[in-house]
Structure 1
Amino acid sequence: MVGNPARIVGYAETANPTASKPPTATAPEGITPLRTVSDIRGDLLPIDLPGDLPFAPQRVFFVHGVPSKEVRGEHAHRQCEQFLVCLTGSVSCIVDDGTSRNEYVLDDPSLGLHMPAMTWGTQYDYSPDAVLVVFASRPYEDADYIRDYEQFLALAKG
């Protein structure tokens, strides 16, 4: 403790009371690691705009309170890119570009999933405490959505 009033600056067994954790080196392909700053008070995950995301967000929204049997997403965007981060809990994500399909579980707020334009995305199996934040490269535009999978496949294949 230092100062008056006293404040905690570290614990005796703490080697480095303030550290910046490098992005997780073991992130699966397709997942983007995010920098985390940690000290005795907890972790801080800063996202500097622009810079830390693959685009400058124009919209941010949060998905929460989703019953585990419900499915979200099930659409693609013609122009909009999205970057998904599960702040708490977990959510399963399917990412499909029309030729390949991958599945990811987001369960660590220091990992994010980039979904480029013309990517079919489905999110499901939300844990009861899941909070998913979505950064979007464009404001909401109904005409940008492709909600029919067959139409998406035809557009994706050119």
Structure 2
Amino acid sequence: MDRVKLITIPKIEDTRGNLAVIEKESIPFEIKRVYYLYDVPTGAYRGAHAHKEQSEFLIALSGSFEVVLDDGIETRRIMLNKPNIGLFIPTMMWRELDNFSSGSVCLVLASDTFDESDYIREYDKFKLFKST
């Protein structure tokens, strides 16, 4: 769990509005895919998987949501609700996203392109994979 990190994104404050900047040095991997979650219905959750090789960086661009992380031993719940703070999720970390506020947008920066074989979508298989 010590590999999980909240990272402050550099921002430029201005009376006309703030500007947040994500550059190569901001996160610990090269970005190969960007996607976002929005219009998540009340009570719904996303995620419920782990990645074997891919790392991710999540940002609440708007609103808020919680990320539940599980490394197979410890579980941690993290609220994301500031657009200049992102959550680095390393490989082999089970994640679920829930408690989305109305109008929330979750931006995900990923270290790799989509590859279904990189996903572990069943928690029991994740636990087995972690124990080997």
User: What is the TM-score normalised by the length of structure 1?
Assistant: 0.79
Aligned equivalent of 1:67: 41
Superposed CA offset, 1:112-142 (max 9, x none): 1111010101000111110000000000001
Larger radius of gyration: 1
Structure 2 residue corresponding to 1:91, chosen from 49, 57, 65: 65
Identity in percent: 33
CA positional deviation for 1:30: 3.2
Q: State the alpha-carbon separation in 2 of the partners of residues 115 and 71 from structure 1.
A: 17
- SS of the residue 1:143 aligns to: helix
CA positional deviation for 1:86: 0.4
- The unaligned stretches of length 5 or more in structure 1 are 1-28
Q: State the alpha-carbon separation in 2 of the partners of residues 106 and 122 from structure 1.
A: 13
Report the AA paired with residue 67 of structure 1: P
Q: State the alpha-carbon separation in 1 of the partners of residues 48 and 29 from structure 2.
A: 22
- SS of the residue 1:75 aligns to: strand
- The unaligned stretches of length 5 or more in structure 2 are none
CA positional deviation for 1:53: 0.8
Q: In the alignment, is residue 80 of structure 1 matched against residue 54 of structure 2?
A: yes
Q: In the alignment, is residue 146 of structure 1 matched against residue 112 of structure 2?
A: no
Q: Is the 8 A contact 2:5 2:89 kept in 1?
A: no
Q: Size of the alignment, in residue pairs?
A: 129
Higher relative contact order (CA 8 A, sep 6+): 2
User: What is the TM-score normalised by the length of structure 2?
Assistant: 0.94
Moved over 4 A (4+): none
Q: In the alignment, is residue 36 of structure 1 matched against residue 11 of structure 2?
A: yes
Report the AA paired with residue 35 of structure 1: P
Aligned equivalent of 1:45: 20
